[in-house]
Structures are given as C-alpha cells and as structure tokens.
Amino acid sequence: MADAVIVVTLLLTAACATAAVTQRDPARQALVLSVLGVVLAALFTVLQAPDVGLSQLAVGSALTPLLIMLSVRKTRRRGRSKEDRE
C-alpha cells in the first residue's frame, strides 16, 4: 500500500515537472511550478520527511512562483512601454 502511494506521487511529480518544462509562457510556468511544489511536498511527506515537505510547500509552491510572477509582470510592463514609444 505504502509503495503504491510512493509510486503514484513519483509519477505525479514526473508529470508536473515535464509539464513545467514543456510550458513556454513564464507566467503559466509559475503556476505549474506551484502545483509541482505541492506534489513534491506530498512526495516528501509520503517518504517520511515532513520537515522538508513543509519547506517545499512554503517555498516551492508559494514564494518562488510569486517571485517569478512579479518578475514577469515587471518585464512585460517594460516591454509594453517600449512598444508604445516606437
């Protein structure tokens, strides 16, 4: 039973990670990354490392995607204002 849960979470992690790589739009990538963070946190918890799971949940699924989204917003805004001038 425990092995089955490990296999399922491992497969989910692989699927999410592949989705994050194949997605080309950085804003969407951030969202997929957030889902990947949750799945990875589940995997760590299943592997009996709840401390690492909590770190992964806080950093990987909240902080990192937020920072990426903010950076994307900044660069898009700059790009838009340059287009306006030309």
CB of 39 to another protein, least distance (A): 18
In the structure encoding, which two tokens stand for residue 67, read together? 């920072």
Which of 3, 22 has the CB closer to another protein? 3
Using CB atoms within 10 A of its CB, is residue 30 exposed (0-12), middle (13-18) or buried (19+)?
buried
Least distance in Å: CB of 8 to another protein?
A: 16
CB atoms within 10 A of CB 26: 14
Residues forming contacts to another protein in the complex (CB under 8 A) are: 50-51, 53-55, 57-59, 62-63, 66-67, 70-71, 73-74, 77-78, 81-82, 84-85
